[in-house]
Amino acid sequence: MVYILLAPGFEEAEALVPADLLRRANIETALVSIQGDTVTGSHGITVTADALLEKIDLSKAEMIVLPGGGTGVKNLGAEPAVERLVRQAADQNIWVAAICAAPTLLGRWGLLEGRKAICYPGLEEQLTGAQVQTAPGEIKDGKIITGRAAGSAFDFGAELIEALLDRAAADKVLEAICY
């Protein structure tokens, strides 16, 4: 199961594009709200969550994904249960992925120490402990995947599929959508 955590103000493309691609690859994926059944993103798109944060069963998790969006990341970072969940996932060698501003949370929580990582341009100083990269799309280092921004949402989603299945599965999904 892949859990994509949503907080008010999340960047819609960074959550929904990867969710769509993961589901096309037949990877069980849940949109998880940190509060309430619906969550409104940074561009006014409201989505209905599949689950609430307090209902996540980490024993079923293959990956935790944190989408960006300035307000969304601020709201994710203000919720202690999110930090606990992400730390537990990392401790249990479960994939953790973050895109745009969200990798800064991984830096704040000490999960990027000595790892290659990227984030939204201009926020690099918040990737505490990371070996900051300038790749255009995504970086995988160990069980941590970081992505640049909304423009790389398709590449980020494909990287998540590759991590959980393989590159052929990711390419098959990208080909099916004419990417």
Prediction pTM value: 0.97
Q: 33 and 69 in contact (C-beta within 8 Å)? A: no
**Bridge partners, 144 (sequence order):** 96, 141
How crowded is residue 55: how many other Cβ atoms within 10 Å of its Cβ? 11
Check residue 134 and give its pLDDT.
Answer: 86
* Residue 86: strand, helix, or coil: helix
As a whole number of angstroms, the distance between CA 45 and CA 175 comes to: 27
Check residue 64 and give its pLDDT.
Answer: 98
Burial class (CB in 10 A: 0-12, 13-18, 19+), 91: exposed
Q: 117 and 148 in contact (C-beta within 8 Å)? A: no
**Residue pLDDT, tens place only, 41-84:** 999 999 999 999 999 999 999 999 999 999 999 999 999 999 99
How crowded is residue 92: how many other Cβ atoms within 10 Å of its Cβ? 11
As a whole number of angstroms, the distance between CA 100 and CA 50 comes to: 23
Mean pLDDT of the chain: 97
Please determine, for residue 171, whether its predicted confidence score (pLDDT) is greater than 90. yes
Q: Nearest Cα to 78, choosing from 5, 144, 14?
A: 5
The structure tokens 């619906």 sit at: 38
Q: Nearest Cα to 98, choosing from 141, 127, 69, 68?
A: 68
